[in-house]
Chains A and B, each alone.
Chain A
Amino acid sequence: MAFAAIAAAVIAVVVWPQSPASSPASNQPLGLPASPRPALLVPKPEPLSRSSALSYWASVRVAVAARSAPTPRAATVAWLARTTQDGTTNLVLVLDRRVDRRGRLWVHVRLPVLPNDLTAWVPRAALGVYGTVQTHLVVDLERLTVTLFRSGRPILRAPAGVGQPQSPTPKGSFYIRDVLTRYASPFYGPVAFGTSARSSVLTDWPGGGFIGIHGTDAPQLLPGRVSHGCIRLRNEDILRLRRLMPVGTPITIR
């Protein structure tokens, strides 16, 4: 009986909440010090923003044959190297994925090869880091403009110089592969983006005839059909584009 009474008293002391009015130390029952406030304020978990304008790129981790179908027996469409002609990591635009009958993952990618607009399949094992972008560049060969969209909204529009009739800028779907800066060549302006597009006319051009988007030392010629296929912008516009357009951005030339 005595034991029960003692136990009841202990329980009462431990669990019975003290009235704020009856005790100045209401937050410190049993005389314990208050718990410290956590040093970090973990914010409320936020979902990813939903954007239909999201695009994916992947780096090429090992040199690989790109095939016409997601199987090792399919025809080789092109070979993908690990690096570009500029010494940067070779990238491909990711379009789709599929698992073959043996459980191997294949990725459908856009290629930086001729003929332009070519897509093919590569094993996921040959690819490395994935990246995402929410930007998309549209080059309008009729209006001689470039427009950069982010999440579907235009954020930059600028006049452009495009290919002359004998060396036209190719139409189709492409992507930004790399960005070159701090080189010594006023002709290309302060920044040059490398793209996956290639001239179908100047195929013996050094480096393979890749189409760039770059500045110029002759801004008075813009807008116009003045280039060998590259897309020329005024230097102030290419510098703005440098700040706004990440590598991996899809390009539509129409």
Chain B
Amino acid sequence: MMSLTLEQLDRDGAIREAVEKASGDTRAAFLGKAVVGGAALLGALAAPGSGEAATAKSDVAILNYALTLEYLQASFYTEAERLGAIKGKLAPIPPQLGAVERAHVQAIKAALGRAAVKRPAFDFHGVTENNSKFLKTAVAFEDLGTAAYKAQAARIKSPALLAAAISIHSVEARHAAWMRFLAGAVPAASAFDEGKPISQVRAIVASTHFVAARPKSRSRKKPKFTG
């Protein structure tokens, strides 16, 4: 399969934006262009949110990174539930995990306030309509979420935010073990879990091709309808 760049996949820039902030680079640096967008975005991310967590730029960036991954998970389970194509022993998974991931999104968005990144559009390429592909993707997403939270824990400055992140991380780990068990994999394969750095998470998310261009539904063209 032809590999695509993140720029092609992430046309809205939401994942790139969150990942760059969390890794300490500006969007401008990432793109190699001297544009004011990066600085403006940094300013927006530094704006205080509604919660006490929004005190450090790096913490806001990590929250946005977490929010982007939660968007991915919540959208995946929600679409699977709405389409109703996941059957049998897996049928309870989309509603149960979807409700939890939506709660995570709600909490992180509330803490970020106006600094929250936008939800990207997702094209799950049919994996939300196929039992086997759905389960494999669920295992991958939950393992990824667990590893991503773990890798950021030591970088979080606010103890209150760290407490919140740990409370979400353990839920992601339970989900991961649950999905692994359903898939016939060892639920807890090692005695010591490694985190996944942002670059690795970015590469994995890009390789899924799930982040899509948002359909263009508006135009300023003069109508050609029959009138």
Contacts and interface: CB of A to CB of B under 8 A. Distances in A.
B224 A35 contact: no
Interface stretch (B22-30, B74-82, B136-144, B147-155): B74-82
Contact of B223 (A43, A105, A185): A185
A183 B221 contact: yes
- On chain B, which size bracket covers the interface? 35 or more
Contact of B217 (A97, A188, A230, A247): A247
Nearest to A57: B215
Interface stretch (A17-25, A81-89, A139-147): A81-89
A191 B90 CA distance: 44
Given A39-B52, A214-B225, A228-B227, A178 B219 contact: yes
A43 B106 contact: yes
A39 B216 contact: no
A41 B107 contact: yes
Interface string B128-164: 0110000000000000000000000000001111111
Contacts of B89: none
Interface string A120-143: 000011001111100000000000
Given A129-B122, A180-B218, A192-B223, A44 B163 contact: no
A31 interface: no
Best-surrounded residue of B126, B160, B214, B224 (most CB of chain A within 10 A): B224
Given A45-B102, A56-B83, A228 B123 contact: no
Given A36-B159, A42-B103, A105-B126, A205 B217 contact: no
Interface residues of A, number: 62
Contacts of A40: 51, 53, 107-108, 110-111, 161, 164, 168
B103 A43 contact: yes
A180 B223 contact: yes
Nearest to A192: B223
Interface stretch (A46-54, A108-116, A150-158): A46-54
Contacts of A125: 125-126
Contacts of A76: none
A239 interface: no
A43 B110 CA distance: 11
A130 B225 contact: no
Given A132-B82, A205-B224, 12 more contacts: A42-B103, A45-B102, A86-B221, A88-B217, A129-B122, A184-B222, A187-B227, A188-B227, A194-B223, A194-B225, A229-B226, A247-B217
Given A207-B224, A230-B226, A38 B219 contact: no
18 contacts: A35-B163, A39-B51, A39-B161, A40-B108, A45-B99, A48-B99, A56-B82, A88-B218, A97-B83, A130-B79, A130-B123, A178-B219, A185-B222, A205-B224, A214-B225, A227-B227, A229-B226, A230-B226
4 closest cross-chain pairs (CB), A and B = A212-B225, A207-B224, A45-B99, A39-B53
A46 B103 contact: yes
Contacts of B129: 97, 105, 124
A179 B217 contact: yes
B3 interface: no
Contacts, number: 171
A227 to B, nearest CB: 6
B212 interface: yes
A171 interface: no
Nearest to A184: B222
A40 to B, nearest CB: 4
Contacts of A247: 217
Interface in A191-213: 192, 194, 199, 202, 205-207, 209-212
Interface string B202-218: 00000000001111111
B195 interface: no
Given A48-B95, A188-B225, A214-B223, A39 B214 contact: no
B101 to A, nearest CB: 9
Nearest to B223: A192
A59 interface: yes
B198 interface: no
A238 to B, nearest CB: 12
B100 interface: yes
A183 B219 CA distance: 9
B167 interface: yes
B216 A88 contact: yes
